[in-house]
Amino acid sequence: MIALILEDRCDGCNACVATCPTDVFDATETAPIIARIDACQTCYMCELYCAKDAIYVAPDQNAAETVEYEAVLASGQLGQIRRDHGWDRPSEPGHLDPYRLLGPLLNEGAETAVRRWSVQHGGA
Amino acid sequence: MSDRTRHTDVLVIGGGMAATWAAIAAAETGARVILVDKGFVGTSGVTATGGPNHWWVSPDPVLRREAIEKRLRLSEGLGDGEWMARILDLTWRYLPSLAKHYPFGSDGKGGIYYSGVRGSEYMRALRAAALEAGATILDHHPALELLSDSEGRVTGARGHAPRLDADWRIEAGAVILATGGCAFRSGLIGSHCNTGDGYLMGVEAGAELSGMEFSIAYTLSPAWASTRTLPYFAARFYDGAGQELDIPPGRAGHVHEQALGRALMQGPVLADLSEAPLALRPILHRIQPFTPAPFARRGIDLFKERFPVWLFGEGTIRGTGGLRIADHDCRTTVAGLFAAGDAATRELVTGAASGGGSVNSAWALSSGRIAGAAAAREALERGGKAKAPSRGLGQIGLAPSSEHRDLDLKGIDRTIGGEMHDYDKALWRNRDSLTASLLKLDGIWTDIARHGHAKGRKGIALRETAALAASARWCTAAALARSETRGIQVRIDRPEADPAQAHRLLTGGLDRVWTRFEHSSLVEAAA
């Protein structure tokens, strides 16, 4: 669940307030506040839409977590999801090229499991 | 209040794939279009966090025919080849039209890879395309009920905008329900808002549902974080003591889920992904960045360390049930009301099989476009404003029949979710357990109908709980009435298909839930 908004990074654009699908945030005069954490579904969309990498979502979707500012900074995770997406370069050709490999790789994994189970059960 | 009423030709309710494709198709005709979404168009729903693959077959007549014949066999008598051909055609023609807004990648053979898209970019592109086509998008505008005129024609909707602390009312020439499926608050990523609102609003207007028995499906995920794209298929599984579990492979379907469910009811189940495809490891974060993050943030190397897993219920999202489609244009059985995407039944294109992934996505695009264009045509033909005064059609949660009481909505939601997705019930469906579930769900429904009343955000939450209860009752009643095993409807007390039940099963009703097979006029009370 959403765990931290880094006020020193936040520029008050309120993109997280607008884009959160479950309306977790409220705007204030400065950085938004986490107003309804029980509605957070840990979907990471606020991180994706935060241009300042000022939001950290903790990984447990079943319970709120308390995180330390320094530890979050040190984790290298701030903005990681946005960078991995290439979210800021939507028109740049090629950055979604690996996507086509998803289906074949999932199939390969499924076949691995089929073969292994067959061997374990003495089948052909 | 009347000064807050807006008028439009087409009102689309929902904000995912089907809703946005509907808004685009409607706006392209020149009709005025308003789309209202409970969340934010771009992030809400299960597409944004997923990676939808579309059923994608080139127009070669032989390839198309083979693809359709294969799906018809999987549909076990409930699919429709003509609808399959339509969605293959529409998907092939229209998915590439997003190229201005979506960075389609290479197919590795000198061409462009269209069929699989990453959800967050896809929904961002659909939002941009809908706005460009001229649709008006109202985010954070959950609908509470449909409106109709004195003849029962749907003429709009009413809702509440919590961010504005204001009620809203929109009158329209035609209304499209594209509110998605229902995952019963299972924790499935992106599904928190998928509470079956469209099913409830539709049935309140007099619409029928179809295929609600096809509502059991799960996604395997880390126990602490639902993700929908992961290489679990190659996983080995272990119990808490480190003993390897004998789990049939994922391709085995129901027995795979039963084996995992049985183990999960006894204690933690740990997955070992050390045999996952090597080629996936260095690029997983580029394919689906939401997947590795929950591991990295727990300090777990997902390909080297074992970690606990959970089966997250998908309900009618990966199931197939929804509002009955009554004609070629995605009309429901109610005048002025259309349905698209997971809010509609997908049996026409999947039959009794899950449409998970590709067929459901092609259906969302195609049914959205079909409904959008047809709704616009109908609204423009009728011309301008609704001609008769309209009234709200909602009852439960809006107008209690007895004295108001505070209800523990979160507790009720959990109970409903348990009746739908607890492994012992869902994976071992049988007459006795389904009957007991239905009785319990009927009690919940009655309590809400008698005592539930709230305004503002609480009012929205109350209607969500009512929609969850209603959807669970329809799913359960349909599973009880289909006394056989067909496709993803598995009854352990009726393990074979019954040729006499090779028909679509309809359900509906509010205080009294009914079911009937589509070919028959015989109505059975479910309780």
B414 touches chain A (CB under 8 A): no
If pLDDT is split at 50, 70 and 90, which confidence band does B354 have?
confident
The answer, yes or no, to whether residue B508 has pLDDT greater than 50, is yes
Q: Which of B13, B291, B303 is nearest to B177 (CA)?
A: B13
Are B9 and B132 in contact by the 8 Å Cβ rule? The answer is no
The amino acid at B411: G
Inter-chain CB proximity B48 and A95 less than 8 Å: no
Are B219 and B228 in contact by the 8 Å Cβ rule? The answer is yes
CA of B392: how far to CAs of B11, B149, B150, B343, B389, in Å? 15, 9, 11, 20, 10
Beta bridge partners, B514, equal B508, B525
The answer, yes or no, to whether residue A29 has pLDDT greater than 60, is yes
Q: Which of A62, A75, A81 is opposite residue B290, by nearest beta carbon? A: A81
- Cα(B407)–Cα(B454) distance, rounded to whole angstroms? 10
Go through the domains of chain B in sequence order and give each one's CATH number: 2-215+317-386 (3.50.50.60), 218-313 (3.90.700), 409-522 (1.20.58.100)
**Burial degree of B105 (CB within 10 A; 0-12, 13-18, 19+):** buried
Residue A109 has which token pair? 């994994």
The amino acid at B405: R
- Cα(B159)–Cα(B126) distance, rounded to whole angstroms? 24
Q: Which residues of B touch A92 (CB under 8 A)?
A: 103
Q: Which of A81, A101, A113 is opposite residue B293, by nearest beta carbon? A: A81
- Cα(B93)–Cα(B95) distance, rounded to whole angstroms? 6
∠ CA B293-B298-B304, nearest 5°, is 85
**Mutate which: A100, A114, A115, A120, vs B, most B CBs within 10 A:** A100
Are A27 and A17 in contact by the 8 Å Cβ rule? The answer is yes
pLDDT at B384: 64
Are B456 and B160 in contact by the 8 Å Cβ rule? The answer is yes
**Mean pLDDT computed over B464-483:** 98
Inter-chain CB proximity B192 and A39 less than 8 Å: yes
Q: Chain B neighbours among A 45-104 (CB < 8 Å)? A: 45, 48-49, 58-62, 75, 77, 80-81, 84-85, 87, 90-103
Assigned CATH for A2-89: 3.30.70.20
Q: What is the pTM assigned to this prediction?
A: 0.97
Beta bridge partners, B308, equal B270
CB atoms within 10 A of CB B202: 31
The answer, yes or no, to whether residue B266 has pLDDT greater than 70, is yes
Q: Return the minimum-mean-pLDDT range out of A102-111, B293-302, B486-495.
A: A102-111
Give the 3-state secondary structure of residue B409. helix
The answer, yes or no, to whether residue A42 has pLDDT greater than 50, is yes
Inter-chain CB proximity A21 and B286 less than 8 Å: no
The answer, yes or no, to whether residue A93 has pLDDT greater than 90, is no
CB atoms within 10 A of CB B93: 13
Are B176 and B376 in contact by the 8 Å Cβ rule? The answer is no
pLDDT at B154: 97
A20 touches chain B (CB under 8 A): yes
Q: Which residues of A touch B233 (CB under 8 A)?
A: 106, 109-110, 112-113
**Mean pLDDT computed over B87-105:** 96
Q: Which residues of B touch A112 (CB under 8 A)?
A: 233-234, 275-277
Q: Which of A105, A108, A14 is nearest to B139 (CA)?
A: A14
Q: Return the minimum-mean-pLDDT range out of B355-359, B425-429, B503-507.
A: B355-359
If pLDDT is split at 50, 70 and 90, which confidence band does B363 have?
very high
pLDDT at A123: 67
pLDDT at A91: 74
The answer, yes or no, to whether residue B525 has pLDDT greater than 80, is no
pLDDT at B477: 98
pLDDT at B231: 63
At which residue do the structure tokens 């209603």 appear? B470
**Mean pLDDT computed over B315-323:** 96
Residue B205 has which token pair? 């207007």
Q: What is the mean pLDDT of chain B?
A: 95
pLDDT at B1: 42
pLDDT in tens, B373-410: 999 999 999 986 556 678 999 999 999 999 999 999 99
- In B118-258, DSSP assigns E strands to 136-138, 143-148, 154-161, 166-177, 209-210, 218-222, 236-239
Interface predicted TM-score (ipTM): 0.97
CB atoms within 10 A of CB B97: 11
pLDDT in tens, B34-80: 999 999 999 999 999 998 999 999 999 999 999 999 999 999 999 99
Are B127 and B41 in contact by the 8 Å Cβ rule? The answer is yes
Inter-chain CB proximity B233 and A113 less than 8 Å: yes
pLDDT higher for B183 or A95? B183
- In chain A, DSSP assigns E strands to 2-5, 25-26, 33-34, 55-57
A122 touches chain B (CB under 8 A): no
If pLDDT is split at 50, 70 and 90, which confidence band does B228 have?
confident
Are B198 and B237 in contact by the 8 Å Cβ rule? The answer is no
The answer, yes or no, to whether residue B152 has pLDDT greater than 80, is yes
pLDDT at B2: 43
pLDDT at B527: 46
pLDDT at B347: 97
